[in-house]
Amino acid sequence: MATMLSTKEAAKFLNVNEKMVYTLVAEKGLPATKITGKWLFPKHLVEQWVEINTVNYPQPLQSDVNYQKLLIITGSNDVLLSHTISLFNKQFPEYIAVFGNLGSMGGLRALRQSQCHIAASHLLQENEDQYNFKAVESELNETPAIVNFCQREQGLILAKGNPKAVKAVADLGKKGIRIANRALGTGTRLLLDLELKKAKLNSQKIQGYQNELPSHLDVGLEVSSGNADVAPGIRIVAHLLGLDFLPLRWERFDLLIPKGRFFEKGVQLFLGLMHDQKFKSLFPPNSGYKLETSGKVVFPDG
């Protein structure tokens, strides 16, 4: 829960008297809430309010970086996305595309705070029929453009030959099976937790459940090295590392773009790559990707 300041604490924090705090609430929009007749002030929002109302800034250092040529992509980690960013940087050397691996939820938060141009997300909805729409509705103030990047196959990455004979998610509850996991806020972790719930497994009793790693390749390497028997992940990682794979579902992996940035040249050049044969040839067929809908705008049902 956020740290809450009393009126007295807020006054001390802002170095003003308590009467001035009430004036700032009424006239200057100081963030506050009234509970049981008393004002409370979320500390992090008070700090943001101070930053927003700062007038005098130090002169920025001179830089040779042209930030108008910088394309920032955040959110969910994906092998094809990484290769596409490299392809973008090679084909358009006047631009620099960079990626921040924050997980799907982290990407949405970065989008909300205007910290990126594009967020990659694959958050499965409760109805298990759609992705991202409900998360966008709850996390963002304004609905972005949603463009499909790819369809990709999610499942369980298994040791070569599947020596532990894992045939279903329910087998993760067997004694002696160790897993490597993805972090909270990632779509892959959300899917695993949903499947564990359907299998009526207590996740806390699964060995390695707390072993959280930042990327699909990282969990794949844990399985490849023998440090784990199973890991939730995408087929392409099993394909690249020569591991076995138990498919669970195909998912829609989308790019979320603020409508105000959608027609920026860098964004359009990146989206245009999805219609380029070089993009479609990055990985062979049957490697865990479907690209028929890549580059198409998707809409909520109904």
> What pLDDT tens digit does each residue of the chain (302 aa) get?
568 899 999 999 999 999 899 888 888 788 888 888 888 988 888 887 887 776 665 654 554 556 789 999 999 999 999 999 999 999 999 999 999 999 999 999 999 999 999 999 999 998 888 999 999 998 998 899 999 999 999 999 999 999 999 999 999 999 999 999 999 999 999 999 999 999 999 999 999 999 999 999 999 999 999 999 999 999 999 999 999 999 999 999 999 999 999 999 999 999 999 999 999 999 998 999 999 999 999 987 64
Q: Is residue 241 located within the same domain as residue 227?
A: yes
Pick from 99, 271, 257, 252: nearest CA to 187: 252
Q: Is 59 a member of any domain?
A: no
Task: Give the range of the structural domain holding residue 79, as residue numbers without chain letter.
Answer: 67-150+253-290
Q: Is 53 a member of any domain?
A: no
Residues 6+ apart with CB under 8 A from 77: 101, 103, 186, 214, 215, 216
Tell me if 135 sits within 8 A of 103, measured CB to CB: no
Q: Is residue 257 located within the same domain as residue 146?
A: yes
User: Could you tell me how far CA 271 lies from the centroid of its own chain?
Assistant: 19
Q: Is residue 142 located within the same domain as residue 171?
A: no
**Residue 129, pLDDT score:** 87
Q: Is 54 a member of any domain?
A: no
Alpha-carbon gap, residue 257 to 254, rounded angstroms: 10
**Residue 277, pLDDT score:** 96
Q: Is 159 a member of any domain?
A: yes
Q: How many domains is the chain partitioned into structurally?
A: 3
**Residue 48, pLDDT score:** 78
Q: Is residue 96 located within the same domain as residue 221?
A: no
Q: Is residue 79 located within the same domain as residue 102?
A: yes
Q: Is 56 a member of any domain?
A: no
Q: Is residue 186 located within the same domain as residue 122?
A: no
Q: Is residue 145 located within the same domain as residue 166?
A: no
Alpha-carbon gap, residue 85 to 107, rounded angstroms: 16
Helices (H), 124-202: 133-139, 187-198
Report the predicted TM-score, pTM, of the whole model to 2 decimal places.
Answer: 0.78
What's the one-letter identity of residue 214? P
Residues 6+ apart with CB under 8 A from 86: none
Q: Is 201 a member of any domain?
A: yes
Q: Is 298 a member of any domain?
A: no
